[in-house]
Structure formats: structure tokens, C-alpha cells
A and B are shown apart, each in its own frame.
Chain A
């Protein structure tokens, strides 16, 4: 049997004005990039609530990319600055949950930077591939076996029991 190479799942939150258009640019210019990225279009990178990122990781993402307009270029004046302030804190938080800081990335991609977008996805995919699967679902499962343990714990009949 051929052993399948690990293909990471990457969720990309792209702002509609710059990065999503940049990704579109990469597509229309026929630039190649790995198909591992699942793109979610948001109105602004500032709209990317940390909840989205946490949820993506819980639901099975191996990496999360947030991409927005370059500082100063935001369609909403300073939405991307809010992302920029939030991001280091999010990385710090993920690290304390045991999620490597390389699994999350913030990039500024303008509408003209199709090539940059394709390079970012290539590089990020290879980095996450090296890290291996995150598999947060397995952690959910580790929580559940507790119930099976309770069943096992019930003393078998005939064994004298001392309660303390």
C-alpha cells in the first residue's frame, strides 16, 4: 500500500477588498498554489474574531491564515490595525493551549499581489506539513472516554467494599 502523504487543512480568512482579490489575481494569472487552503471571504481582516480561529482549529484545521490589506490601505480606514493588535495576543493564547505559533499566520496581501499570495500559501502549506496534523478532534475524544471508565469502575459483585 502506498502511504499517503499528510495533506494539511488550512483555513484562510481573506479580506474581500485586498487579499481575496489578490487570490483572485493569482487564479486569473494561472499561478499555482497548493489546494490545501480553504478560503473564507470576510469583509475585513478586522472582522476575523479570534473565535473563528479557535473554532477552525477545533473543527480540524491544521493551520489558519489571516490575510488583509497592507497597513494604511484598509477599506475601512483601520480595520487591519485591529487585527494587527489582536494577532500577537492570539498567537500567545494559542501557544498556551499547546498549538504551535507556526500554525497561524498574518499576512498583508494587496489586490495586485497574486504572486505574493501564491508564495504565502506555498510556504505556509509546507511549514504546516512539516508540523504534522494538529488533530484537535482527538483531544475531544480524550475527554469522552471518562464515561467508559466509570462503567469499568463499578465493583464486581461479591467483592467486599469499604467506603472511605
Chain B
């Protein structure tokens, strides 16, 4: 029998998920022994053409990380979907849109303006922007189209399993690989390596009644090591985040950032996080409440740090004038 085939792909991601795969350390040799790796652009040289030549559902497992930002990402997502038996959204960007999804606060035009004109280190007096098609003496050059809106993998193709985390834990990756090798797969749509409660369930800190008079972002206050961070006024996404990370950040005296995405049954992580935060405010006076809420400087960045692309509203409104 031939070896099962494995594909790994990165779309709009930072590369951290690739490192997370390598975090299984020497077991990566076992992976290479057991699997026939057919695509892994970060590590080995493969051509997309070779991938296109494979038959439908010939790949046994595809670990796809990163959000869908350009037409190339979308094309590869669809191609890999056709070729793979099991498609796994690996890491939060693929599951929820992740940090790249925060770009949905802007559109293509304003992103290009910022990146290619306004950034202090950029010298671009002719205001040239990358073009999708460009004629060179040697022939035509194509660049992938850049979309206005970042999407998660789930919003682009059908996905069998999700492995959340920014990046996913080493043992989770190994569990997923093991499950495929053994043919012991959970029901479709499951989250591998994550719980079905919130981070607060795993958090070792002492929790009492939460009543606070002010919010602090994590750089503004040194937290006490034993007490619940929210009780100290530090904005912690624990109550609105899926468990499974064993409260890794909180154990390191940092608040939860929400990288595991919303717990089951939540359609909009930001709305839930917002509710949770507002309900710990200790004031019945409207003015005082407003003053306390001034501590939350960037609502989208705070509440939707990883989930903007898959939230209910999905993006900031693109004004019509800008579009034309």
C-alpha cells in the first residue's frame, strides 16, 4: 500500500503555524516516514502544477493555515479542497480569520495607500501600486488579486476539522496526525485539541465577584499573580474564548487574547466578549460608566482580535464613494 498523502499550505498567515507543525520535534521524522508529503511550500519545493495533476481526493490530509486574502489563496483553498479527503483549518487564521482578518477594518484602496505610500520607510513618489497584470518585454506577469475583505477558510470551502490556536499546541497537531494515521477520526465539524468550555474553566486563578472601576490594557498594569485578571480590571478575553490552551498566557501573567476563538454556540465573539466586559462594571451612574469605558480604546481590536472576518458584520462598511 502506498503511503497516505499529506499537504500543508499557508495562505495569509505569519508562518507561526508552520513552526507549530515543526514543534512536534523529532516526531516530524515519523511524519515523513508515514506520510508522502505532496505540498509544503514553507519547507520543500513543490509546484502548483504538480498538485493540479493529482486526482480528486487523492490527498489524505491537508493542514491549511492562514486566512484567504488574495485570489491565489482562494484558488489553492479550492484546489486543495478538491484534492483532499480531509481538510483541516489549522490555526486561528484559517478557523476564524485571525489577525489578518483585522484588515477588514479597511479596504484594498486604503491598505495600498498606507503600505505603498504613507509608511515612513516608503519612497514612492510616483505612487505606483502593484498591478494584477503587467506587460514586461519578456511577457505578461500576473500577480494574485488582492481582495477588499479577508475571509476564513470555512467561508471559502467546506472544512472537516478545525484546530484553533495562534499557534496550535504541539500535542494538538500530533493528535490530529495520529488520528488520520489510525483512521480514528471524530465527527465532521469537530474542533481538534480544543475544549467546549471557556478559558476561565481552565484558569487557575482565584475568582470572586467581579466589580471593577476601570479597565486597563495589559501594558498599563502589572497583574497580581493569584487574582482573576478581570477582577483587577485587566481586559482578559477568557470568558469569551474556547478552552483547550490550558490557560497558557494567564499562567504567564498575561491576559487571554482570545486566540482559540469563540466557545461553541457563539456566533459573534466580539458581542459576547463585550457583554462579559460590560457586566463587570461596578457603577449604576451613566456618566461614570462612560468614564470607565474610556479604558477600552479600540473596540474592534479588543473584541474581535482574532474573529473579525467570521463575525456577524464581517467587515467595516466600505463607503460607496471610495468604491467607485
Going nearest first, the 10 A-B pairs with the smallest beta carbon separation are A98-B317, A50-B271, A86-B278, A160-B139, A51-B271, A93-B299, A54-B312, A85-B278, A143-B149, A162-B139
B residues adjacent to A (C-beta < 8 A): 71, 74-75, 105, 132, 136, 138-143, 145, 147-149, 151, 267-268, 270-272, 274-275, 277-279, 281, 283-284, 286, 289-290, 293, 296, 298-300, 303, 311-319, 323
Which interface class (under 10, 10 to 19, 20 to 34, 35 or more) fits A?
35 or more
Chain A to chain B contacts (Cβ below 8 Å), 29 pairs: A49-B272, A49-B275, A50-B271, A51-B267, A51-B272, A71-B284, A82-B278, A82-B279, A85-B289, A88-B289, A88-B290, A88-B293, A89-B278, A92-B293, A92-B296, A93-B299, A96-B298, A96-B299, A96-B316, A97-B315, A136-B317, A142-B148, A147-B74, A150-B74, A153-B132, A160-B140, A161-B139, A161-B142, A162-B141
Residue of A nearest to B149 (CB): A143
The reply to whether B271 and A85 contact each other, CB–CB distance below 8 Å, is no
The reply to whether B139 and A54 contact each other, CB–CB distance below 8 Å, is no
CB distance from B78 to the nearest CB of A (A): 9
Contact residues in B for A150 (Cβ distance below 8 Å): 71, 74-75, 145
The reply to whether A153 and B142 contact each other, CB–CB distance below 8 Å, is yes
Residue of A nearest to B290 (CB): A88
Residue of A nearest to B136 (CB): A162
The reply to whether B316 and A98 contact each other, CB–CB distance below 8 Å, is yes
The interface bits of chain A over 76-88 (1 if a CB of B lies within 8 angstroms of the residue's CB, else 0) are 0010011011101
Does A58 belong to the interface (CB within 8 Å)?
A: yes
CB distance from A164 to the nearest CB of B (A): 6
Q: A71-B284, A89-B277 are in contact. Are A146 and B316 (CB under 8 A)?
A: no
Contact residues in B for A55 (Cβ distance below 8 Å): 267-268, 312
Q: A86-B278, A98-B316, A159-B140 are in contact. Are A49 and B271 (CB under 8 A)?
A: yes
Does A140 belong to the interface (CB within 8 Å)?
A: yes
The CA-CA distance from A84 to B313 in the complex, in Å, is 23
Contact residues in B for A71 (Cβ distance below 8 Å): 284
Q: A85-B278, A150-B75, A153-B142 are in contact. Are A139 and B271 (CB under 8 A)?
A: no
Q: A149-B145, A162-B140 are in contact. Are A58 and B323 (CB under 8 A)?
A: no
Count chain B CB atoms within 10 A of each CB in A84, A140, A142, A143 and give the residue with the most.
A143
Residue of B nearest to A83 (CB): B278
Contact residues in A for B296 (Cβ distance below 8 Å): 89, 92
The CA-CA distance from A84 to B143 in the complex, in Å, is 50
Contact residues in B for A81 (Cβ distance below 8 Å): 284
Does A57 belong to the interface (CB within 8 Å)?
A: yes
The CA-CA distance from A55 to B143 in the complex, in Å, is 36
The CA-CA distance from A147 to B147 in the complex, in Å, is 10
Contact residues in B for A147 (Cβ distance below 8 Å): 74
The reply to whether B274 and A89 contact each other, CB–CB distance below 8 Å, is yes
CB distance from A85 to the nearest CB of B (A): 4
The CA-CA distance from A55 to B312 in the complex, in Å, is 6
Contact residues in A for B274 (Cβ distance below 8 Å): 50, 86, 89-90, 93
Contact residues in B for A155 (Cβ distance below 8 Å): 140, 142
The CA-CA distance from A78 to B283 in the complex, in Å, is 11
The reply to whether A149 and B71 contact each other, CB–CB distance below 8 Å, is yes
Contact residues in B for A140 (Cβ distance below 8 Å): 314
The CA-CA distance from A150 to B151 in the complex, in Å, is 15
Contact residues in B for A139 (Cβ distance below 8 Å): 314-315, 317-318
Does A99 belong to the interface (CB within 8 Å)?
A: yes
Count chain B CB atoms within 10 A of each CB in A51, A71, A139, A162 and give the residue with the most.
A51
Residue of A nearest to B266 (CB): A51
The CA-CA distance from A55 to B270 in the complex, in Å, is 12
CB distance from A61 to the nearest CB of B (A): 12
Contact residues in A for B272 (Cβ distance below 8 Å): 49-51
Q: A51-B268, A139-B318, A146-B74 are in contact. Are A97 and B284 (CB under 8 A)?
A: no
Contact residues in B for A98 (Cβ distance below 8 Å): 316-319
Q: A139-B318, A162-B139 are in contact. Are A89 and B268 (CB under 8 A)?
A: no
